[in-house]
Amino acid sequence: MVQYGNEVFTNIYPQIVPNALFDFVQEKIEGNRYGKHDSDAVYILKGKMKCGYCGKTITSESGTAKSGEVKRYYKCYGRKNEGNGCQKDTIRKETIESLIVNSTLKFFEDRLNLSTVADKILELHQKRVADTSVLNLLLEEKASLTKSIDNILDAIAEGYRSSKTKEKLEEFEARLDIVEGKILIEKAKEKSAISKEDIIKFISKCTKKEPLQMIKLLIKEIILYDDKVEIYYNYIDKKSPDEFEHQAFLFYTENVDLYMKDDYKLKEQDYILNMLVYMFI
Protein backbone atom coordinates (compact mmCIF):
# COMPACT_ATOMS: atom_id res chain seq x y z
CA MET A 1 0.00 0.00 0.00
CA VAL A 2 1.24 3.46 -0.85
CA GLN A 3 -0.10 6.59 0.67
CA TYR A 4 0.21 9.52 -1.62
CA GLY A 5 -1.06 12.75 -0.11
CA ASN A 6 -4.68 12.09 0.77
CA GLU A 7 -5.01 9.28 -1.71
CA VAL A 8 -4.23 5.71 -0.85
CA PHE A 9 -3.28 3.30 -3.58
CA THR A 10 -3.06 -0.40 -3.13
CA ASN A 11 -1.10 -2.64 -5.36
CA ILE A 12 -0.18 0.04 -7.85
CA TYR A 13 3.24 -1.42 -8.39
CA PRO A 14 2.86 -5.11 -9.13
CA GLN A 15 5.44 -7.68 -8.09
CA ILE A 16 7.07 -7.55 -11.48
CA VAL A 17 8.51 -4.17 -10.67
CA PRO A 18 11.97 -4.59 -9.26
CA ASN A 19 12.84 -3.12 -5.91
CA ALA A 20 14.90 -0.44 -7.57
CA LEU A 21 11.82 1.10 -9.13
CA PHE A 22 9.77 0.76 -5.99
CA ASP A 23 12.47 2.46 -3.96
CA PHE A 24 12.88 5.10 -6.59
CA VAL A 25 9.18 5.96 -6.68
CA GLN A 26 8.96 5.69 -2.91
CA GLU A 27 11.85 8.08 -2.53
CA LYS A 28 10.13 10.61 -4.76
CA ILE A 29 6.91 10.30 -2.79
CA GLU A 30 8.78 10.72 0.49
CA GLY A 31 10.70 13.66 -0.87
CA ASN A 32 7.59 15.46 -1.90
CA ARG A 33 5.78 14.82 1.35
CA TYR A 34 7.91 17.44 3.00
CA GLY A 35 6.87 20.17 0.63
CA LYS A 36 9.98 20.26 -1.49
CA HIS A 37 9.75 22.24 -4.67
CA ASP A 38 8.43 20.29 -7.61
CA SER A 39 11.64 20.56 -9.56
CA ASP A 40 12.79 17.76 -7.27
CA ALA A 41 10.41 15.37 -8.97
CA VAL A 42 11.96 13.33 -11.74
CA TYR A 43 9.77 12.89 -14.79
CA ILE A 44 11.37 9.78 -16.15
CA LEU A 45 9.60 9.99 -19.52
CA LYS A 46 10.53 13.59 -20.16
CA GLY A 47 11.74 14.21 -23.68
CA LYS A 48 10.56 10.81 -24.87
CA MET A 49 6.84 11.34 -25.32
CA LYS A 50 4.90 12.90 -28.15
CA CYS A 51 1.21 13.63 -28.46
CA GLY A 52 -0.51 11.18 -30.79
CA TYR A 53 -3.00 13.82 -31.90
CA CYS A 54 -0.97 16.94 -32.66
CA GLY A 55 2.60 15.63 -32.61
CA LYS A 56 3.86 18.04 -29.98
CA THR A 57 6.04 17.03 -27.05
CA ILE A 58 4.34 15.80 -23.93
CA THR A 59 5.59 17.97 -21.13
CA SER A 60 5.43 17.85 -17.35
CA GLU A 61 2.92 19.73 -15.29
CA SER A 62 2.14 19.91 -11.62
CA GLY A 63 -0.37 21.59 -9.44
CA THR A 64 -0.81 21.96 -5.71
CA ALA A 65 -4.19 21.13 -4.23
CA LYS A 66 -5.63 23.08 -1.30
CA SER A 67 -4.47 20.27 0.93
CA GLY A 68 -0.92 21.10 -0.13
CA GLU A 69 -0.62 17.90 -2.07
CA VAL A 70 1.33 18.24 -5.29
CA LYS A 71 -0.19 16.38 -8.21
CA ARG A 72 1.94 15.59 -11.20
CA TYR A 73 0.97 15.06 -14.78
CA TYR A 74 2.16 14.80 -18.31
CA LYS A 75 0.41 17.18 -20.66
CA CYS A 76 0.54 17.95 -24.38
CA TYR A 77 2.69 21.03 -24.95
CA GLY A 78 0.49 22.10 -27.87
CA ARG A 79 -2.53 22.17 -25.61
CA LYS A 80 -0.77 23.61 -22.58
CA ASN A 81 1.45 26.31 -24.07
CA GLU A 82 0.52 26.84 -27.66
CA GLY A 83 -3.26 26.71 -27.51
CA ASN A 84 -3.30 24.70 -30.71
CA GLY A 85 -6.72 23.26 -29.97
CA CYS A 86 -5.39 19.81 -29.09
CA GLN A 87 -7.75 18.00 -26.75
CA LYS A 88 -5.34 15.37 -25.49
CA ASP A 89 -6.10 14.58 -21.85
CA THR A 90 -3.48 15.07 -19.20
CA ILE A 91 -2.31 11.86 -17.61
CA ARG A 92 -1.12 11.17 -14.10
CA LYS A 93 2.64 10.93 -13.94
CA GLU A 94 2.56 7.72 -11.89
CA THR A 95 0.05 6.03 -14.18
CA ILE A 96 1.94 6.42 -17.41
CA GLU A 97 5.39 5.90 -15.89
CA SER A 98 4.44 2.60 -14.28
CA LEU A 99 2.67 1.47 -17.46
CA ILE A 100 5.74 2.10 -19.57
CA VAL A 101 8.22 0.62 -17.12
CA ASN A 102 6.06 -2.42 -16.36
CA SER A 103 5.28 -3.17 -20.00
CA THR A 104 8.94 -2.98 -20.89
CA LEU A 105 10.08 -5.20 -18.05
CA LYS A 106 7.31 -7.73 -18.51
CA PHE A 107 8.10 -8.11 -22.17
CA PHE A 108 11.86 -8.31 -21.98
CA GLU A 109 12.04 -10.43 -18.86
CA ASP A 110 10.50 -13.22 -20.86
CA ARG A 111 13.33 -15.14 -22.49
CA LEU A 112 11.27 -16.27 -25.42
CA ASN A 113 10.22 -12.72 -26.27
CA LEU A 114 13.77 -11.53 -25.93
CA SER A 115 15.06 -14.30 -28.13
CA THR A 116 12.44 -13.71 -30.82
CA VAL A 117 13.08 -9.99 -30.89
CA ALA A 118 16.84 -10.59 -31.05
CA ASP A 119 16.39 -12.92 -34.04
CA LYS A 120 14.42 -10.29 -35.89
CA ILE A 121 16.91 -7.53 -35.07
CA LEU A 122 19.77 -9.71 -36.24
CA GLU A 123 18.00 -10.41 -39.51
CA LEU A 124 17.50 -6.69 -40.17
CA HIS A 125 21.05 -5.89 -39.16
CA GLN A 126 22.46 -8.47 -41.55
CA LYS A 127 20.30 -7.15 -44.37
CA ARG A 128 21.65 -3.69 -43.66
CA VAL A 129 25.27 -4.82 -43.60
CA ALA A 130 24.84 -6.72 -46.87
CA ASP A 131 23.59 -3.58 -48.56
CA THR A 132 26.67 -2.03 -50.21
CA SER A 133 24.84 0.50 -52.38
CA VAL A 134 25.93 3.48 -50.27
CA LEU A 135 29.53 2.32 -50.27
CA ASN A 136 29.49 1.89 -54.04
CA LEU A 137 28.20 5.43 -54.56
CA LEU A 138 30.90 6.80 -52.28
CA LEU A 139 33.62 4.88 -54.10
CA GLU A 140 32.38 6.29 -57.42
CA GLU A 141 32.43 9.81 -56.02
CA LYS A 142 35.95 9.26 -54.68
CA ALA A 143 37.17 8.14 -58.11
CA SER A 144 35.61 11.15 -59.78
CA LEU A 145 37.06 13.60 -57.24
CA THR A 146 40.49 12.03 -57.51
CA LYS A 147 40.37 12.42 -61.28
CA SER A 148 39.35 16.09 -61.04
CA ILE A 149 42.13 16.79 -58.57
CA ASP A 150 44.68 15.07 -60.83
CA ASN A 151 43.52 17.17 -63.79
CA ILE A 152 43.98 20.40 -61.85
CA LEU A 153 47.41 19.30 -60.62
CA ASP A 154 48.40 18.50 -64.20
CA ALA A 155 47.26 21.95 -65.32
CA ILE A 156 49.25 23.57 -62.53
CA ALA A 157 52.33 21.49 -63.48
CA GLU A 158 51.99 22.86 -67.00
CA GLY A 159 52.13 26.37 -65.63
CA TYR A 160 48.46 27.19 -65.55
CA ARG A 161 47.67 29.09 -62.39
CA SER A 162 44.77 31.19 -61.30
CA SER A 163 43.00 31.91 -58.06
CA LYS A 164 40.01 29.99 -59.42
CA THR A 165 42.08 26.84 -59.97
CA LYS A 166 43.36 27.01 -56.43
CA GLU A 167 39.85 27.51 -55.11
CA LYS A 168 38.56 24.51 -57.06
CA LEU A 169 41.44 22.36 -55.92
CA GLU A 170 40.74 23.19 -52.28
CA GLU A 171 37.05 22.50 -52.73
CA PHE A 172 37.69 19.08 -54.29
CA GLU A 173 40.21 18.16 -51.63
CA ALA A 174 37.85 19.11 -48.83
CA ARG A 175 35.09 17.04 -50.41
CA LEU A 176 37.47 14.13 -50.86
CA ASP A 177 38.26 14.21 -47.13
CA ILE A 178 34.57 13.96 -46.32
CA VAL A 179 33.97 11.17 -48.80
CA GLU A 180 36.94 9.18 -47.51
CA GLY A 181 35.61 9.54 -43.96
CA LYS A 182 32.24 8.23 -45.06
CA ILE A 183 33.87 5.31 -46.82
CA LEU A 184 35.65 4.38 -43.62
CA ILE A 185 32.37 4.42 -41.72
CA GLU A 186 30.67 2.27 -44.35
CA LYS A 187 33.53 -0.21 -44.30
CA ALA A 188 33.47 -0.31 -40.50
CA LYS A 189 29.81 -1.18 -40.72
CA GLU A 190 30.68 -4.34 -42.60
CA LYS A 191 32.98 -5.34 -39.80
CA SER A 192 30.63 -4.41 -36.99
CA ALA A 193 28.97 -7.78 -37.02
CA ILE A 194 26.79 -8.28 -34.02
CA SER A 195 25.57 -11.58 -32.68
CA LYS A 196 22.23 -12.54 -31.27
CA GLU A 197 23.94 -12.85 -27.93
CA ASP A 198 25.14 -9.21 -28.15
CA ILE A 199 21.62 -8.02 -28.74
CA ILE A 200 20.21 -10.04 -25.86
CA LYS A 201 23.00 -8.84 -23.59
CA PHE A 202 22.40 -5.21 -24.51
CA ILE A 203 18.66 -5.33 -23.90
CA SER A 204 19.03 -7.35 -20.69
CA LYS A 205 21.64 -4.95 -19.41
CA CYS A 206 19.28 -2.05 -20.05
CA THR A 207 16.35 -3.65 -18.27
CA LYS A 208 18.43 -4.17 -15.15
CA LYS A 209 19.17 -0.49 -14.80
CA GLU A 210 17.13 1.98 -12.83
CA PRO A 211 13.97 3.02 -14.68
CA LEU A 212 15.30 6.42 -15.69
CA GLN A 213 18.45 4.88 -17.19
CA MET A 214 16.56 2.02 -18.73
CA ILE A 215 14.19 4.42 -20.48
CA LYS A 216 17.02 6.61 -21.69
CA LEU A 217 18.84 3.68 -23.24
CA LEU A 218 16.04 1.53 -24.48
CA ILE A 219 13.17 3.78 -25.44
CA LYS A 220 13.38 5.82 -28.56
CA GLU A 221 9.98 7.42 -28.45
CA ILE A 222 6.53 7.05 -26.98
CA ILE A 223 3.45 8.19 -28.85
CA LEU A 224 0.69 8.87 -26.41
CA TYR A 225 -3.03 8.84 -27.15
CA ASP A 226 -5.86 8.88 -24.66
CA ASP A 227 -6.65 5.23 -25.18
CA LYS A 228 -3.41 3.76 -26.39
CA VAL A 229 0.32 4.03 -26.15
CA GLU A 230 2.94 3.22 -28.75
CA ILE A 231 6.37 2.48 -27.40
CA TYR A 232 9.27 2.56 -29.85
CA TYR A 233 12.34 0.80 -28.56
CA ASN A 234 15.88 1.32 -29.71
CA TYR A 235 17.39 -1.90 -30.75
CA ILE A 236 20.97 -1.10 -31.36
CA ASP A 237 23.60 -0.14 -28.84
CA LYS A 238 24.45 3.56 -29.05
CA LYS A 239 28.05 2.63 -29.77
CA SER A 240 27.04 1.37 -33.19
CA PRO A 241 27.32 3.59 -36.25
CA ASP A 242 24.83 6.40 -36.44
CA GLU A 243 23.06 5.05 -39.48
CA PHE A 244 21.00 2.97 -37.09
CA GLU A 245 19.35 5.96 -35.55
CA HIS A 246 16.09 5.37 -37.35
CA GLN A 247 15.80 1.78 -36.39
CA ALA A 248 13.30 0.91 -33.77
CA PHE A 249 10.64 -1.57 -32.95
CA LEU A 250 7.28 -0.88 -31.55
CA PHE A 251 4.99 -2.16 -28.88
CA TYR A 252 1.49 -1.03 -29.34
CA THR A 253 -0.62 -0.86 -26.26
CA GLU A 254 -4.24 -0.07 -25.81
CA ASN A 255 -5.29 0.83 -22.31
CA VAL A 256 -3.22 -1.58 -20.31
CA ASP A 257 -3.87 -4.41 -22.69
CA LEU A 258 -1.18 -4.80 -25.27
CA TYR A 259 -1.85 -6.17 -28.69
CA MET A 260 0.24 -7.85 -31.31
CA LYS A 261 -0.29 -6.52 -34.76
CA ASP A 262 1.00 -6.48 -38.30
CA ASP A 263 4.10 -7.83 -39.89
CA TYR A 264 5.73 -9.53 -36.99
CA LYS A 265 3.51 -11.87 -35.09
CA LEU A 266 4.58 -14.23 -32.39
CA LYS A 267 2.71 -17.50 -32.34
CA GLU A 268 -0.44 -17.38 -30.32
CA GLN A 269 0.90 -19.57 -27.55
CA ASP A 270 3.83 -17.19 -27.20
CA TYR A 271 1.73 -14.16 -26.39
CA ILE A 272 2.82 -12.26 -23.39
CA LEU A 273 0.28 -9.63 -22.46
CA ASN A 274 -0.92 -9.64 -26.06
CA MET A 275 1.99 -7.52 -27.11
CA LEU A 276 2.62 -6.38 -30.59
CA VAL A 277 5.99 -5.97 -32.14
CA TYR A 278 6.54 -4.01 -35.29
CA MET A 279 10.00 -3.80 -36.73
CA PHE A 280 11.17 -0.69 -38.54
CA ILE A 281 14.15 0.18 -40.63
Residues contributing to the site for Zn ion (CB under 5 A): 51, 53-54, 76, 78, 86, 88
Is the CB of 79 or the CB of 125 nearer to Zn ion? 79
Q: Residue 57 Cβ, how far from Zn ion at the closest point, in Å? A: 9
Asked if 268 and 253 count as a contact pair (C-beta separation under 8 A), the reply is no
Is the CB of 88 or the CB of 189 nearer to Zn ion? 88
Compute the radius of gyration of the chain from its Cα atoms.
26
Torsion of CA 82, 85, 89, 94, to 10 degrees: -10
Give the separation between CA 113 and CA 249, rounded to whole angstroms: 13
Q: Residue 90 Cβ, how far from Zn ion at the closest point, in Å? A: 11
Is the CB of 85 or the CB of 159 nearer to Zn ion? 85
Is the CB of 80 or the CB of 125 nearer to Zn ion? 80
Q: Residue 44 Cβ, how far from Zn ion at the closest point, in Å? A: 20
DSSP state of 213: H
Beta bridge partners of 278: 250
Q: Residue 226 Cβ, how far from Zn ion at the closest point, in Å? A: 10
Is the CB of 222 or the CB of 275 nearer to Zn ion? 222
> Distance between alpha carbon 16 and the CA centroid of its chain, in Å?
23
> Whats the size of the chain, residue-wise?
281
- Which residue in 234, 198, 196, 229 sits closest to 215, CA to CA? 234
Give the separation between CA 80 and CA 155, rounded to whole angstroms: 64
Q: Residue 118 Cβ, how far from Zn ion at the closest point, in Å? A: 35
Q: Residue 224 Cβ, how far from Zn ion at the closest point, in Å? A: 9
Q: Residue 261 Cβ, how far from Zn ion at the closest point, in Å? A: 23
Residue 157, amino acid: A
Q: Residue 103 Cβ, how far from Zn ion at the closest point, in Å? A: 22
- The three-state secondary structure class of 217 is helix
Is the CB of 74 or the CB of 252 nearer to Zn ion? 74
Is the CB of 225 or the CB of 271 nearer to Zn ion? 225
Write out the E strands in the chain: 2-4, 7-9, 49-51, 58-64, 70-76, 91-92, 219-224, 228-234, 248-254, 257-259, 278-280
Is the CB of 78 or the CB of 211 nearer to Zn ion? 78
Q: Is 231 exposed, middle or buried (0-12, 13-18, 19+ CB in 10 A)?
A: buried
Asked if 217 and 209 count as a contact pair (C-beta separation under 8 A), the reply is yes
DSSP state of 88: P
